[in-house]
């Protein structure tokens, strides 16, 4: 298995793309730490995995809280014996136009989507350095590359994590650690289920492939970037968007 003997942390791993990533990594032979604030969902996913004999463990972690992240990193290392891969997947949206966006909405998204990524990477990096091997893979978005109406805060964070990824690629490459970002387009998640049918149809028509992406398709790219086969890919952003931005 491509990820056999590897230990991965997946933030925001209890639902959506994160959940798909947890299950994909387990199928690839990894042991997985599920970091999330959704206690009920995280615990249920851990139980589901254990019933199938899959080595997953849920940790209740607010990635915006650096002290909590440090504790979770130590607990993960103690439980699994090592950390090899960090998937910075956790993220939130608080959409509004610039005129209507509140400072609270701005601060909430910055705290999770940008500061949270910094917190997790800073806390986990020493464990990767100690092993002389590591993968840091961060969820960006096509919004971070091209912008989107009503998402000043979200777009700023996703552009920010792309820039941080490029810095980490330069700083950590010689230590055996690569850093890359994945920029999904319109992906079929629970959030999409709340949108009007007309909006969903518009999203599908925008992409040349004529459909929304799946969480499994994003998870597959995460898994590839985490593998030995991707060892020479460093500091890049891979769009998983069906050609949306062409």
For 27-48, the three-class secondary structure string (H helix, E strand, C coil) is HCCCEEEEEECCHHHHHHHHHH
Provide the pLDDT for residue 90: 98
At 245, the pLDDT band (50, 70, 90 cuts) reads confident
Q: What is the pLDDT of residue 27?
A: 97
Domain boundaries, the chain: 7-239
pLDDT band at residue 36 using 50, 70 and 90 as cut-offs: very high
Mean pLDDT along residues 36-53 = 98
Say which range, 69-83, 162-176, 191-205, has the weakest mean pLDDT.
191-205
Residue 214 has pLDDT above 80, yes or no: yes
Evaluate if residue 196 carries a pLDDT over 80.
no
Catalytic residue among 66, 127, 146, 154: 154
- Has residue 192 got a pLDDT over 70? yes
| pLDDT tier, 189 (very low <50, low <70, confident <90, very high otherwise) | confident
Q: How confident is the model at residue 184 (pLDDT cuts 50, 70, 90)?
A: very high
pLDDT in tens, 87-117: 999 999 999 999 999 999 999 999 999 999 9
> Average pLDDT for residues 111-138, to the nearest whole number?
98
Q: What architecture (CATH level 2) is domain 7-239?
A: 3-Layer(aba) Sandwich (3.40)
Q: In what order do the strands lie in the sheet with 7-11?
A: 56-60, 31-36, 7-11, 85-88, 134-139, 177-184, 237-240
Q: What is the mean pLDDT of residues 122-126?
A: 98
> 3-state SS of 159-218?
HHHHHHHHHHHHHHHHHCEEEEEEEECCECCHHHHCCCHHHHHHHHHHCCCCCCECHHHH
Q: What are phi and psi of 242, to 5 degrees?
A: 65, 20
Q: How confident is the model at residue 194 (pLDDT cuts 50, 70, 90)?
A: low
- What average pLDDT does this structure show over 206-226? 96
- 196 Cβ partners below 8 Å, 6+ apart? none
Distance between CA atoms of 153 and 158, rounded to whole angstroms?
9
Residue 195 pLDDT > 70? no
Concerning whether 222 is annotated as a catalytic residue, the answer is no
Report the mean per-residue pLDDT for the chain. Answer: 96
Q: How far apart are CA 167 and CA 235, in angstroms?
A: 8
Per-residue pLDDT, averaged over 23-42, amounts to 98
DSSP string, 86-149: EEE-------B-TTT--HHHHHHHIIIIIIHHHHHHHHHHHHHHHHT-EEEEEE--HHHHH--T
25 has pLDDT over 70: yes
């Amino acid at each position: 298995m491509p990820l056999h003997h590897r230990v991965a942390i997946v933030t925001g791993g209890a639902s959506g793309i994160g959940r798909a990533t947890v299950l994909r990594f387990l199928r690839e032979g990894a042991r997985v730490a599920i970091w999330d604030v959704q206690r009920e969902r995280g615990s249920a996913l851990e139980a589901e995995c254990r019933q199938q004999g899959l080595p997953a463990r849920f940790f209740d972690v607010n990635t915006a809280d650096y002290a909590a992240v440090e504790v979770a990193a130590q607990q993960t290392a103690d439980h699994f014996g090592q950390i090899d891969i960090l998937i910075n997947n956790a993220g939130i949206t608080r959409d509004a136009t610039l005129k209507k966006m509140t400072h609270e909405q701005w601060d909430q998204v910055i705290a999770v989507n940008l500061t949270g990524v910094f917190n997790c990477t800073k806390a986990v990096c020493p464990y990767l350095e100690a092993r002389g091997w590591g993968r840091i893979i961060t969820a960006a978005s096509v919004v971070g590359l091209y912008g989107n109406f009503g998402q000043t805060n979200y777009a700023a964070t996703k552009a920010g994590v792309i820039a941080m990824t490029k810095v980490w690629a330069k700083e950590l490459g010689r230590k055996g650690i690569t850093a890359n970002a994945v920029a999904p387009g319109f992906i079929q998640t629970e959030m999409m289920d709340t949108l009007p049918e007309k909006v969903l149809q518009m999203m599908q028509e925008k992409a040349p492939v004529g459909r929304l992406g799946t969480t499994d398709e994003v998870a597959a790219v995460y898994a590839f970037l985490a593998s030995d086969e991707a060892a020479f890919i460093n500091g890049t952003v891979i769009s998983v968007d069906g050609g949306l931005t062409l």
